[in-house]
Amino acid sequence: MSLVVYLAALVFGMTSVLLFRRPRTAMRDPLTLSTCAAVLLGALVFVCAAPATLRTVNDLTGVPNFGAPLTYGMLSAYSCAVLVLLINWRGGPRPLVRRMVLRSMAAYGLLVAAVVVLFLLADADTERLTDLDTYYAGTPFMREMILLYLLGHSAAMLVMCAVCVKWGREVGGLLRAGLRLILLGALLDVVGFQLTKYTAVVARWAGHDLDFLSTTVAPPMASLAALLCSAGFVLPRLLPPVLAHWRGLDDYRRLDPLWSLVRSVSTAPKPPASWWQLPRARLQWREVSIHDALLTLAPYFDHDLRTRVRDAALGAGRSAHAARLAAEAAMLADAARRAAAREEPPDTAGSYRLHATEVPGPSGLVELAQALRRPPGRGTASGGARPSSLTGTVSEPEEPHVA
């Protein structure tokens, strides 16, 4: 059982590390800070609740069941952290948010203090690592301590359910998906953990033995519920940058044909060792380098060639946009050949702005790169030779295929 609990704690810890990957920024962002605190406290709850940890704590302190108020106090702190996270996530005027956060912390601070006091007043000399709640369900002060931590956790989960239902009607996208995961986790916690604990404790009061609900059913339900809640909290925070980096990697690869054509004329400074760089950083450097190369090649643009290819594409029934891309691809390939061969600029050279430089982001460059990749057609381009790369290899006169 301890191994499973420790694995759950490890998942929580890794999530917290991902969210806290930029400490300076995170410390200034209440939402990130409260998310990390809630996830980290959830991990600590799992660590403290593991039987191996309880035994170690009891042995180190010399106090039987000292791990109980430690675990219950940590669970209460986690409940408070969840409420604080919801308050920061919901947002609003900063004075109101700060006031609600302080009230939540004060309430659960008193609860933790009450848990400790009740444990000190109780007679709990028999060490129980897995069934303390039911074993001491009828013991004075221990009974109150157990009920108090359960009620505090129930209050936090029920508030979280209500907020998720209400807020889920107002938002959409990833935020709504995250709220649904949180709601599912909270409901699983209420039914699978709290209800089973209450049932087992009340059964003890009535003289029945339903301890298996508390010792066998509740722990895995609590683990699954906490993981679902954590996934709901971090999904809207982590998934957008992950998707952005994935799209950046895709755009970086799709720029390969254009980069292969112009890389030898780019004068942009080389980046530092890039094996560790995130895809978006690498894409940004490649964009800058390509734009620099396009400026270098601009004097070599043959606008007669561009016009002939564009007119041929329009005559073949292509759209104006597709015809422009095909014409610019042919003109850029011809300019790269002239630059590689150190030829003089053509007489038809003049100012012209490529479509790729008119749109923000990498989308225009990607379109131009894909136009360069298409197999060339024959019979419409200029009589000059067309390069297959900047290495100087020359093919027969051809016209780029227009898609």
Instruction: Kindly state the tokens that stand for 271.
Output: 């980046």
Distance of CA 278 to the CA centre of its chain: 14
Report the largest interatomic distance among the alpha carbons of the chain, rounded to a whole angstrom.
102
Where does a domain end: 191, 225, 242?
242
pLDDT per position as a tens digit, 117-158 = 999 999 989 999 889 999 999 999 999 999 999 999 999 999
CATH number, position 155: 1.20.1070
Instruction: Pick the last residue of a domain from 217, 242, 267.
Output: 242
Q: What is the pLDDT of residue 276?
A: 52
Q: Of the given ranges (38-42, 64-68, 216-220, 239-243), which has the lowest mean pLDDT?
A: 239-243
At residue 387, the pLDDT reads: 38
Q: Give backbone dihedrals phi and psi of 125, rounded to 5 degrees, phi first.
A: -90, -15
For residue 272, is it within any domain? no
**Is the sign of the CA dihedral 127, 128, 134, 135 positive or negative?**
negative
Q: Mean pLDDT of all residues in the chain?
A: 82
Quote the percentage of the chain above a pLDDT of 70: 82
On the 0-12 / 13-18 / 19+ scale of CB atoms within 10 A, 247 is: middle
Question: What residues contact 368, with CB distance under 8 A and at least 6 apart?
Answer: 258, 325, 328, 329, 332, 354, 355, 356
In the predicted structure, residue 299 carries a pLDDT above the cut 90:
no
pLDDT band at 213 (very low <50, low <70, confident <90, very high): very high
Number of domains into which the chain is organized: 2
Cα torsion 53, 49, 116, 63: sign:
negative
In a domain, 260, yes or no: no
Please say if the pLDDT value at position 3 is more than 90: no
Same domain flag for 297 and 365: yes
Q: Which of 60, 62, 74 is nearest to 116 (CA)?
A: 74
Q: Which domain holds residue 212?
A: 2-242
Residue 383 in this model has a pLDDT that exceeds 60: no
Q: Is residue 266 a part of any domain in this protein?
A: no
DSSP type of residue 399: B
Say if residue 105 is exposed, middle or buried (CB neighbours under 10 Å; 0-12, 13-18, 19+): middle
Q: Which two tokens stand for residue 270?
A: 């080389």
284 in the same domain as 201: no
Q: Are residues 186 and 79 in the same domain?
A: yes
Give the residue ranges of DSSP H helices in 28-93.
30-49, 51-61, 67-90
Is 24:61 a contact under the CB 8 Å cutoff? no
Paired residues of 387 in beta bridges: 394
pLDDT of 325 strictly over 80: yes
pLDDT band, very low/low/confident/very high, at 379 (cuts 50, 70, 90): very low
pLDDT for residue 381 is more than 60: no
Tell me: the pLDDT tens digits for 32-62?
788 878 888 888 888 888 888 999 999 999 9
Residue 373 contacts residue 388 (beta carbons within 8 Å): no
What's the token pair of residue 227?
Answer: 């993981």
**CB 338 within 8 Å of CB 300:** yes
Residue 182 contacts residue 237 (beta carbons within 8 Å) = no
The verdict on 200 and 284 lying in the same domain is no
Q: How far apart are CA 385 and CA 81, in angstroms?
A: 69
Judge whether 189 and 222 are in contact, CB under 8 Å. yes
Phi, psi of 89 (to 5 degrees): -70, -40
187's tokens: 């409901």
User: Is residue 403, in this structure, part of any structural domain at all?
Assistant: no
Residues 284 and 233 grouped into a single domain = no
| C-alpha–C-alpha distance, residues 141 and 133, integer Å | 12
Q: Could you tell me if 347 and 232 lie in one domain?
A: no
Mean pLDDT of 306-321: 89
* Nearest to 290, CA basis, from 333, 325, 259: 259
Tokens of 274: 């890039």
Residue 92 lies in a domain: yes
- pLDDT beyond 50 at 403: no
Give the Å distances, CA to CA, from 321 to 294, 310, 313, 324.
20, 10, 10, 5
pTM metric for this prediction: 0.67
Regarding predicted confidence, which is higher, 349 or 402? 349
Q: What is d(CA 116, CA 111) in angstroms, rounded to the nearest whole number? A: 9
When pLDDT is averaged across residues 379-384 and rounded to a whole number, the result is 38
Q: What angle do CA 387, 390, 394 make, to 5 degrees?
A: 30
In a domain, 249, yes or no: no
- Of 216, 242, 268, which marks where a domain is finished? 242
| Residue 195 pLDDT exceeds 90 | yes
On the 0-12 / 13-18 / 19+ scale of CB atoms within 10 A, 299 is middle
Three-class SS state of 236: helix
Are 80 and 226 contained in the same domain?
yes
Residue 62 located in a structural domain = yes
